[in-house]
Structure 1
Amino acid sequence: MRHTEAATHGRRAVIDLRERILSGELQGGTRLFEVPLAELLDISRTPVREALSRLAEEGLLDRLPSGGFMVRRFGFSDVVDSIEVRGVMEGMAARVAAERGAAPHRLKEIKETVARLDASFGERPEDVDFDAYADLNEIFHRQMAGLTESDVIRREVERASALPFASPSAFLPDRSDIATFRRSLRTAQEQHRGIVRAIEMREGSRAEALAREHARTARNNLEYILNEDPSLLEKVKALALIQG
């Protein structure tokens, strides 16, 4: 029982700290130590220690020679590479699902998610529920990997998506008044439909190409923020971790 409780605390600490880092709450260059974090999370030092080691393995933290950890800062190329890796893995997943043939009940589920994503868009072009879209987008990508019926591929897609800033909803702002992002979401939704259609029609090459192009949405949003409208940096806090 005690071992199970410690494992639960460890998982919770990893999730909590990862979210604090990727949300920008713990900014690049911040030093992290076991005791203050244990007090912050209201758990013992052991699961905190394990969580910090896990996040260092994920590449979100650097170990300090003097002890403790520091939240990493990332270069633009690091982020682009993470997005590209996810695109490659999701492209392979889409191709495999198409070539092997997806189970009807899984196709039904992902089509229902696409329909719910459609509902996050209003009648007017400027109406988008960002929060609903982000949540459903994560579900869509999990379901797409699940279409392969391969635990190996699903795990590797999850691993790639856990890379810093490689999440399918990376760089989505928490405001709904940004026209450029609304346009990118509508394009991404068209890609969702195209991917599912290609998988259903067992068009492997097309499914792979669409999935890889779809992953570039995050990169396009990042490039727009950094190159065209730096004022959006304040609306996407995680960008505080990225160096030019």
Structure 2
Amino acid sequence: MAEPHTSTELATERLREAILSGELLPGDKLRQDRLAEMLGTSRTPLRAALTTLAQTGLVSYESNRGFFVREFSFSEVEGAFEVRAELEAMACRLAAGNMTDAARRHLADLVAEGDRLLEPGELLPEKLPEYRRMNVNFHTAVMRLSGNSWITTCVQQLHNVPAASDRVIMWRDFRVILRSHDDHHRIARALSKGQGERAAGIMREHITFALEHLHLQMQLYPQDFLRMPNLEEPVRARPARNRRNTAA
């Protein structure tokens, strides 16, 4: 995604990230005075940003009531995951034929960054934004290597369903984070060897498992749905009921 340049683009990106990260939750009323203060922007670009996000489906508007963070049913979330799994699997198949030494190094560097962040045996709260950024960059890199810009465009649209976004996939168990990151290792290795079908299968399972785990977490801890972790506590190997989830 291109870097925002205008005040409206910057406000749109900041608001989008606040929603996708769980800082703003489904059903929240988007009060422009509070948002302007939170995002450090004036109300004019903020109003334009809200209109843009309403057009892309991340925000809803009701006459005489204003803007709200859009709420999605689980069937909508499930559908977004299923389409994302197929598109990113396709990206892997295509990317395998476009690998260069620079591309191999880039994927290897991203995987190594994830290793570094998980090395303590827990995902430390202050490292969560870095891990989430690494995850986004890894998936984006694979899609760009596919050479098909429509894959990136369509997947970015699917990320407007917050629970299906690569920014906010919820975990309570550190072992699940390790499993997810091991998938990154295996996808990178398969792509480096030109094994497109193998990488595609791993990517499809990677995203499908995320959906299954999200469904389980929603059943066990419905109060935490789409909420980010309590940043006062790390995500450790043993789950605890009062812990929220973390991205992978």
Report the TM-score when normalising by structure 1. Answer: 0.77
1:113 pairs with 2:110: yes
Q: Answer yes or no: is the 8 Å Cα contact 2:132–2:167 preserved in 1.
A: yes
* Structure 1 equivalent of residue 98 of structure 2: 101
1:72 pairs with 2:70: yes
* Structure 2 equivalent of residue 240 of structure 1: none
Distance change >3 Å, CA 88–CA 38, structure 1 → 2:
same
* Structure 2 equivalent of residue 147 of structure 1: 145
Distance change >3 Å, CA 119–CA 34, structure 1 → 2:
closer
* Structure 2 equivalent of residue 3 of structure 1: none
The within-5 A match list for 1:1-244 is: 8-32=6-30, 34=32, 37-38=35-36, 41-66=39-64, 68-98=66-96, 100-122=97-119, 126-129=121-124, 131=128, 132-172=130-170, 178=172, 180=173, 182-230=174-222, 232-233=224-225, 236=228
Distance change >3 Å, CA 37–CA 233, structure 1 → 2:
closer
Q: Answer yes or no: is the 8 Å Cα contact 2:190–2:199 preserved in 1.
A: yes
Unpaired runs of 5+ residues, structure 1, are: 1-5, 238-244
* Structure 1 equivalent of residue 244 of structure 2: none
Distance change >3 Å, CA 190–CA 146, structure 1 → 2:
same
Q: Which has the higher helix share?
A: 1
What's the secondary structure of 2:118's corresponding residue? coil
What's the secondary structure of 1:69's corresponding residue? strand
Deviations along 1:116-154, one digit per CA (max 9) or x if unpaired, are 21222336xx43345143222122112111222344433
Unpaired runs of 5+ residues, structure 2, are: 230-248
**CA drift at 1:206:** 1.8
Structure-2 separation of matches of 1:85 and 1:203: 22
Larger CA Rg, structure 1 vs 2: 1
**CA drift at 1:94:** 0.5
% same residue: 32
**CA drift at 1:60:** 1.9
Distance change >3 Å, CA 72–CA 136, structure 1 → 2:
same
Deviations along 1:49-82, one digit per CA (max 9) or x if unpaired, are 2211111122222221336222222211121222
**CA drift at 1:37:** 4.3
Alignment-mate amino acid for residue 17 of structure 1: L
Distance change >3 Å, CA 26–CA 116, structure 1 → 2:
closer
Alignment-mate amino acid for residue 140 of structure 2: R
Query: How many pairs does the alignment contain?
Result: 223
Report the TM-score when normalising by structure 2. Answer: 0.76
Alignment-mate amino acid for residue 89 of structure 2: G
